[in-house]
Amino acid sequence: MHPVSPPLPLPADLARDQQRFWAYAAAFGAAWGSLEIVVGSFLHALRLPFSGALLAAAGAALLVAQRQVLPVRGLTLATGLVAAACKSLSPGGVILGPMVGISAEAALVELALLAGSWVPSAAAAGALAALWAASQKVLVQYLLYGGDILSLYVEGLRRASGWLGAEQSFGFALVAAFAAGLALVGASGGLLGLRAGRECRKLLRPGDGPR
C-alpha cells in the first residue's frame, strides 16, 4: 500500500492549459537553444571576453519576452528545464555544468518575474542572469577546490592593488564596478525582452494567443 494515489491524466478542460504550458516550454526551450547556437557563434567569432554573460542576457531577454506572451508562473523554469534537458543530448564529455547553468539562469529569471512582468522585474531578471553566468565559474571552482580558492582570489586582489601602488580596496572596487557593468548589460537584455514580448503580443492575433 502506498500513501495517496498518484496524479493521473487531467480532465480535458484543464489538460488544454497544461498542453499549452508544455507546448510553450518546448517551443521556447528550442528557441533558447537556437539563440545559444546563433548568438554564441557570433560572439565567439568576435572573441569578446565574458561572452557568457552576454549570452545569458540574450537568454533572459527571450524568457522575459515569453512571459509577456504567456504570463503563467513556472513557465520560465519549465522552459529552462527543457533547454537543459536538450543539453543532455550533447555527445560525451561533462554535461552537468551547462545543464546546471541553464537551469539556474531560468530559476533566477523566474524568481525575478514573480514580482510581475514590469520594468524593474525584467531588468532584475536580466541582471541576475548575467551575474550568474559570470559567477558560475567562480562557484564551480569553489566546489572543485574548496573555500581556499576564495581566499586566493581575495589575497590576489590585495597583492595586485599593492603592486599597482593603489589602496588595498582598489581591487575590490574594480570587481564591484565590473559586476555593476555586467548587471547593466543583463538589465538591458531584460528590458529588450520586455519590449519585444509586448510587441509580439500585439502581433499575435487574439485567436492565436492564450485564453
Partner 1 sequence: MSAPSPLARGRRLMPALALVCIGLQFPGRLLPTTGALVIWLAALAAFDRDTLRRLWMPRFLTLTVLVALAAGMLLGKSDARLWGLPFSRSGLEAGALMTVRGLFIFGLTSWASRALMRDELRGLRRLLRHERLATAMASAVQLIPGLTGQLRRSWSEQRQRGRLSPLRLQSALVSLVEAAARIAEAQLVDPEPAIRAAPRARRVAVSGPQGSGKTTTLLALAERLRGGGFEVGGVRQPVRYEGGLRAGYDLEALSGGERRPLARARTRDGGRAEGFDFDPDAWGWAAERIRAARRDHDVLVLDELGRLEARGEGHLPALAEPLEAERCGLWLLGVRADAVDRLAERAGPFELVFAPSDDPAVLDGYARQLHEVLGERRQAA
Rounded Cα gap, residues 188 and 78, in angstroms: 23
6 binds partner 1 (CB under 8 A): yes
Q: Which of 46, 47, 49, 93 binds partner 1 (CB under 8 A)?
A: 93
Stretch that binds partner 1, among 13-21, 128-136, 168-176, 179-187 (CB under 8 A): 13-21
Contact 121, 75 (CB under 8 A): no
User: In whole angstroms, how close is the CB of 120 to partner 1 at the nearest point?
Assistant: 19
Q: Which of 83, 112, 125, 128 binds partner 1 (CB under 8 A)?
A: 83
User: In whole angstroms, how close is the CB of 100 to partner 1 at the nearest point?
Assistant: 10
171 binds partner 1 (CB under 8 A): no
Q: Which of residues 62-81 bind partner 1 (CB under 8 A)?
A: 62, 65-66, 69-70, 78, 81
Question: Locate cell 537543459: which residue?
Answer: 84
Contact 130, 183 (CB under 8 A): yes
- Cβ proximity to partner 1, 99 vs 112, nearer residue: 99
- Cβ proximity to partner 1, 20 vs 51, nearer residue: 20
139 binds partner 1 (CB under 8 A): no
Question: Locate cell 514580448: which residue?
Answer: 197
Rounded Cα gap, residues 29 and 62, in angstroms: 10
Alpha-carbon dihedral angle through residues 103, 109, 112, 115, given to the nearest 10 degrees:
-110
User: In whole angstroms, how close is the CB of 6 to partner 1 at the nearest point?
Assistant: 5
47 binds partner 1 (CB under 8 A): no
Rounded Cα gap, residues 133 and 164, in angstroms: 29
Kindly tell me the burial class for residue 67, based on how many C-beta atoms sit within 10 Å of its own C-beta (0-12, 13-18, 19 or more). buried
Q: In terms of DSSP H, where are the helices of 47-89?
A: 51-69, 75-87
Rounded Cα gap, residues 22 and 145, in angstroms: 39
- Cβ proximity to partner 1, 61 vs 182, nearer residue: 61
Stretch that binds partner 1, among 28-36, 111-119, 121-129, 171-179 (CB under 8 A): 28-36
User: In whole angstroms, how close is the CB of 200 to partner 1 at the nearest point?
Assistant: 5
Q: Which of residues 172-191 bind partner 1 (CB under 8 A)?
A: 188
Q: Which of 2, 45, 47, 163 binds partner 1 (CB under 8 A)?
A: 2
